[in-house]
Amino acid sequence: MNKKDNILIIGAGLCGSLLALRLAQRGYKVELFESRPDLRTNDISAGRSINLALSDRGFKALRLAGVEDKAREICIPMHGRLIHDAKENTFASNYSGRQGEYINSISRGDLNGILLTEAEKHENVTIHFNKKCISVDIEETVVRFKDYKTKEEFSVNGDVIFGTDGAGSVLRKSYYLERKFLFSYSQNYLTHGYKELEIPADALGNHQISKDHLHIWPRGEYMLIALPNLDGSFTVTLFLSYDEGEYNFNNLTTEKRITEFFEKEFPDALKLIPSIKDEFFNNPTGALGTVKCSPWFYKGNTVLMGDAAHAIVPFYGQGMNASFEDVTVFDTILDKHEGNWEAVFKEYQLVRKEDTDAIADLAIDNYYEMRDHVANPLFKQKRMLEMSLEENFPKEYFSKYSMVTFNENISYSEAMKKGRAQDKALLNMVAHNDLNSVSNLKEVLRKVQEETNEILEEDKIAGL
Amino acid sequence: MNKKDNILIIGAGLCGSLLALRLAQRGYKVELFESRPDLRTNDISAGRSINLALSDRGFKALRLAGVEDKAREICIPMHGRLIHDAKENTFASNYSGRQGEYINSISRGDLNGILLTEAEKHENVTIHFNKKCISVDIEETVVRFKDYKTKEEFSVNGDVIFGTDGAGSVLRKSYYLERKFLFSYSQNYLTHGYKELEIPADALGNHQISKDHLHIWPRGEYMLIALPNLDGSFTVTLFLSYDEGEYNFNNLTTEKRITEFFEKEFPDALKLIPSIKDEFFNNPTGALGTVKCSPWFYKGNTVLMGDAAHAIVPFYGQGMNASFEDVTVFDTILDKHEGNWEAVFKEYQLVRKEDTDAIADLAIDNYYEMRDHVANPLFKQKRMLEMSLEENFPKEYFSKYSMVTFNENISYSEAMKKGRAQDKALLNMVAHNDLNSVSNLKEVLRKVQEETNEILEEDKIAGL
């Protein structure tokens, strides 16, 4: 490959800006285009999650690009879930029984800003803001843009085009519409949407509830979560059906109804959200969708990455981490096939797709687990048992959550396969009281491992 | 509901014409539009499977519309698979151990013709051929058509619109493009495509190979199947990758290569396909895709049915049967909510979608089973055991295949759940030689049932 190849990256979000930085470090000439203004000098958070959970897969990619430390500086560690019941009781549930395993609340905008600033330090990177991609000619590798300020349209010719333009990717749409190849594509929405609200800092600028936890108010049909921000506030997200159940987005249309709903279901949260009415009516209701597609690339010309290739629901806290991990994986494959973009793209998809499919499915699983199971006695018992196993056998036992979140060297697909079998083994052992007669934890570990392997073996024989 | 509602049906294929017939029988005024010419007077088979497998779910719907006997007259019963290995050996594998359970090869065109003729007998049905649907205004229930002969465009206003316009449905496309609601949608292609070839009748007009079987040449990466026609010929379908493996559609470009491929993999079939070169080059290569979507309906205005709502791959022989069953289910729900189209559509999807999702997944499973497993010793042993169980306990044991194919009163989703558990139980028992020590078949049945229930119970506890 010619390092003078002109690389166009569409979308300077988290994935696009990390990718630009990394490709610049490898010596490529990169032009990065973003439809919105520079978020470092403009407030453009409306409608997007303003904080996110960063964990080990994300850190690994940031480390590769030399920006891990800068990111860590703006992280707020969250060691577990703090579950709030409808009677205002809380109980904590750690993410891991091991020391030093936690997830981090981080501002999307601040992290994106760090990545843009680092990328810009490279002479071979040019960033163009306010340039909205309108269409892509994948055969001729020409991208059509519209300038938001001048309203003028113009075309840019590249040698290779990366579409990191998010869940609504224009590059992906061109794959679908141009029909140059059989394009497998799915967009699947949950029946629930989401809305962001805010718990402000107290008068002294401090957090009003524990900042060391991700807060959850699970109510089966509804769910509220809250993640801390550095300024003492929390971003609260309400997950609610559009049109089902007693309370839903379609029928919560008056302040009275909203207050009634929160008083009944989330009384402790209500007291902490002073502007609930304004926020409820002014903030947009977002959809929760999963996007999968294949192929991700066209010849050696174009490739999709990040949400553009695999948008997922937020319930595993892995969206950003998965997109960052794309860059790690891509970088490894570049080492192998540098000089032949088509070979790079082909192997990248071959290696990566089963993992992004897996995290998409795991995120859906967690939607149900968080809504329904967190408050379920069987799941609670299982979770407590897992904590003891991790505490006592830190090198031998890893829960599904730990494998996904804290073990960046286990692939998502491996974590899903093993984690699901292990969950099934544990839940059945707990349900059947199989462990009551077992006196020591070492024996419990052995039984869980044995049962897990048996489940994996049986699935394999059945061709699953 | 006003029986004077003007019902527009887009697409007079198998599903659309059966639906038109049934709605006419119920007293509705129906206008049926078809893009192609009248297949009863024109040969328009190019590019579509010209014969299909009709089984009990299909018959149930035809019975409801009073046309079962007419269909039976043109059926060729196939009692099992006849498997051909690469050394020209064959072995038979029955579809059921029970008497009277078989599937039927039937001409798509002839069956469609019967349904059109029956529908036309009703004064309240009008059929318009050569009218291609171009777009649908789902809010105003107006359909735009183009006349193939005059090239003129015109609009038709209906009260309710049914889209039975197949896998490439224009109504479904309007759901996707108009973005009036969150539309979950997937189109997933297999890596393989298909091509139809022909084994002609012999000089006396007789079938050259057994007409009582569905013939299969399973070769892992490739597969050939053949279904008999009434005129003594067989329609042969080759399933082959587009671009993977030693032989694929992209590299089979010369007569020499094609002959070499067939000589190596399907020598007995090659001798029976005299025009292989012409057919291979002239017949189109079809794609194998699964389409799922939701919602199927928009208000009480429009609804998708048949392949337009749920196109599936052909490997379970259930595509037509599932579309016919749509009409059976819809008819039952009409009984309940007649007068309120929105209520009808809503409940129809609620009841029906999990079953069409299930048959889509089962058809994908069978793609792998037919390619890989039919020749696998474990699967053969399991299949033989199932045949004895069905023969000896005809009222107690039903294989997954029997539940799907011959038991129209078990839903697809139930058949999938129970059938998969049963397969898993059987395969594991066979693999572990658990049944070697069991002396009588009654005891085998009991063990299989016990193990199946355990698997179902364990999945339930794990929340699967």
Residue B285 has pLDDT above 50, yes or no: yes
Question: Are B119 and B127 contacting, i.e. CB atoms less than 8 angstroms apart?
Answer: yes
3-state helix, strand, coil in chain A (%, to 5): 40, 25, 35
What would the mean pLDDT of B73-87 be, rounded to a whole number?
95
Cα four-point dihedral sign B165, B171, B176, B182: negative
Identify whether residues B13 and B130 lie together within a single domain: yes
Q: For position A156, which CATH number holds?
A: 3.50.50.60
Let me know: does B306 contact B14? Beta carbons within 8 Å: yes
pLDDT at A1: 47
Q: Chain A: give the shortest CA distance to residue B154, in Å.
A: 26
Tell me whether residues B428 and A373 touch, CB distance under 8 A: no
On the CB side of B223, how many CA atoms lie within 13 Å of its CA?
24
**Model confidence over A364-382: pLDDT tens digits?**
999 888 776 666 788 888 9
Residues A158 and A257 in one domain: no
ipTM for this prediction: 0.90
Hey, which residues 411-450 in chain B have their CB within 8 Å of chain A?
420, 423-424, 427-428, 431
Tell me the C-alpha to C-alpha distance, in Å, between residue B363 and each of A2, A3, A116, A118, B337. 46, 47, 47, 50, 32
| Segment A42-79, tens digit of pLDDT | 876 654 458 999 999 999 999 999 999 999 999 999 99
User: Does residue B355 contact residue B409 with C-beta atoms inside 8 Å?
Assistant: no
CA distances from A444 to A452, B332, B367, B386 (A): 12, 53, 41, 38
Per-residue pLDDT band for B370 (boundaries 50, 70, 90) equals confident
Residue-wise pLDDT for A318-350, tens only, equals 999 999 999 999 999 999 999 999 999 999 999
In chain A, the residue whose alpha carbon lies closest to the alpha carbon of B379 is: A462
Check CB contact of B177 with chain A, cutoff 8 Å: no
A193/A183 same-domain check: no
What average pLDDT does range A252-259 have in this prediction?
96
Handedness of CA B174, B176, B180, B184 (dihedral sign): positive
Question: pLDDT digits over B410-428, tens only?
Answer: 999 999 999 999 999 999 9
Rounded alpha-carbon distances, angstroms, from residue A239 to A93, A274, A314? 21, 19, 11
Q: Which of B13, B196, B238, B20 has its CA nearest to residue B109?
A: B13
The total number of structural domains that make up chain B: 2
Cβ–Cβ of A458/B424 closer than 8 Å? yes
> Which residue range is the domain that position A456 belongs to?
376-461
- Are both A22 and A161 inside the same structural domain? yes
- Assess whether B345 and B392 both reside in one domain: no
pLDDT for position B463:
82
Partners of B371 on chain A (C-beta within 8 Å) are: none
Same domain? For B423 and B362 the reply is no
Q: Is residue B87 situated within a structural domain?
A: no
Q: From the CA of B187, how many Å to the nearest CA of chain A?
A: 5
Beta bridge partners of residue B161, listed in sequence order: B8, B302
B381 min Cα distance to partner chain A (Å): 13
**Residues near B420 by beta carbon (within 8 Å), at least 6 away in sequence:** A462, B400
Does B454 lie at the interface with A, CB-CB under 8 angstroms?
A: no
Q: Looking at chain B, which residue has its C-alpha nearest residue A426?
A: B462
State which of A244, A270, A287 marks the end of a domain: A287
Alpha-carbon gap, residue B372 to A181, rounded angstroms: 27
Q: Does A451 touch chain B (CB under 8 A)?
A: no
**Residue A159 belongs to a domain:** yes
CATH number at residue A237: 3.30.9.30
Using the 3D structure, point to which of B342, B367, B392 is the last residue of a domain.
B367
For A384-422, the pLDDT digits (tens) are: 899 999 999 999 999 999 999 999 999 999 999 999 999
* In-domain check, residue B175: yes
State the pLDDT at residue A47. Answer: 44
CA distance B327 to chain A (A): 26
Q: So what's the pLDDT on residue A45?
A: 60
- The answer, for A383 touching chain B at a CB cutoff of 8 Å, is no
Nearest by CB: A373 against B428, B431, B463 = B463
Q: What is the dihedral of CA B269, B271, B272, B274, to 10 degrees?
A: 120
CB-CB contact of A225 with A236 (8 Å): yes
Are B461 and A373 inside 8 Å of each other by CB? no
| A458 interfacial to chain B (CB closer than 8 Å) | yes
Residue A103 falls within a domain, yes or no?
no
Does B382 contact A at CB distance below 8 Å? no
Cβ atoms B452, B425 nearer than 8 A: yes
Q: What is the pLDDT of residues B113-125, one digit of tens each?
A: 999 999 999 999 9
Enumerate helices (H) and strands (E) in chain A, giving the number of each: 15, 19
How does pLDDT run across A284-318, given as a tens digit for each residue?
Answer: 999 999 999 999 999 999 999 999 999 999 999 99
CA distances from B90 to A39, A133, A367, B217 (A): 69, 58, 50, 9
Cα separation, B369 vs B135, whole angstroms: 39
- Asked if residue A158 is part of any domain, the answer here is yes
Q: At what angle do helices B14-25 and B319-337 cross, to 10 degrees?
A: 30
DSSP B38-84: PTTTS---TTS-SEEEE-HHHHHHHHHTT-HHHHHHT-EEE-EEEEE
pLDDT at residue number B47: 44
Domain membership of residue A48 (yes or no) is yes
Going by DSSP bridges, is the β-strand pair B213-219/B80-84 parallel, antiparallel, or unpaired? parallel
State what percent of residues in chain B have pLDDT above 70: 97
Please tell me the distance in Å from B363's CA to the nearest CA on chain A.
15
A-chain residues near B249 (CB < 8 A) = none
A14 and A117 fall within a common domain: yes
Q: Please give, rounded to a whole number of angstroms, the shortest distance from the CA of B429 to a CA of chain A.
A: 10
Q: How far is B441 from chain A, CA to nearest CA, in Å?
A: 22
User: Shortest Cα distance from A165 to chain B (angstroms)?
Assistant: 20
Closest chain A residue to B192, measured at CA: A182
Does B49 lie in the same domain as B122?
A: yes
B25 and B113 in a common domain: yes
The answer as to whether A381 is a domain residue is yes
Three-state secondary-structure class, residue A452: helix
By the CB < 8 Å criterion, does B464 face chain A?
yes
Name the domain boundary from A367, A387, A417. Answer: A367
Smallest Cβ–Cβ distance between A427 and the set B185, B187, B461 belongs to: B461
- Residue from A285, A382, A458, A460 whose CB has the most chain B CBs within 10 Å, to mutate: A458
For residues B324 and B56, is the Cβ–Cβ distance under 8 A? no
A278 with A421, same domain: the answer is no
Across the beta sheet with A76-78, what order do the strands follow? A51-54, A103-107, A76-78
Give per-residue pLDDT as tens, B302-337. 999 999 999 999 999 999 999 999 999 999 999 999
Nearest neighbour of A186 by CB, restricted to B188, B424, B461: B188
pLDDT(B373) > 70: no
Q: What is the mean pLDDT of residues B65-92?
A: 96
Number of neighbours of residue B11 by Cβ within 10 angstroms: 28
Q: What does the alpha-carbon distance between residue B311 and residue B305 come to, in Å, rounded to a whole number?
A: 10
Q: Are residues A135 and A183 in the same domain?
A: yes
The whole-angstrom separation of Cα B20 and Cα B9 is 7
Nearest one of A383, A7, A9, A355 to A159, comparing CA atoms: A7
What is the predicted pLDDT for the residue at B291?
98
Tokens standing for residue A315: 């319930």
Beta bridge partners of B214: B81
Q: Which of A185, A423, A458 sits opposite B428 (nearest CB)?
A: A458
> CA of B257: how far to CAs of A187, B249, B276, in Å?
40, 11, 12
Cis peptide before B394 (omega within 30 of 0): no
| Residue tagged 């057994």 (tokens) | B210
Rounded CA separation A305/A308 (Å): 6
Judge whether A461 is closer than 8 Å to chain B, CB to CB.
Answer: yes
Identity of the residue in A189, A287, A461 whose CB atom sits nearest the CB atom of B427: A461
Record: contact B428-A189, CB cut-off 8 A: no
Going by their DSSP bridges, the two strands A51-54 and A103-107 should be labelled as antiparallel
Both A412 and A316 in one domain: the answer is: no
Residues A189, B188: C-beta atoms closer than 8 Å: no
Is residue A79 one of the residues assigned to a domain?
A: no
As a whole number of angstroms, the longest Cα–Cα distance in chain B is: 75
- Residues B106 and B230: their CA atoms lie apart, in Å, by 8
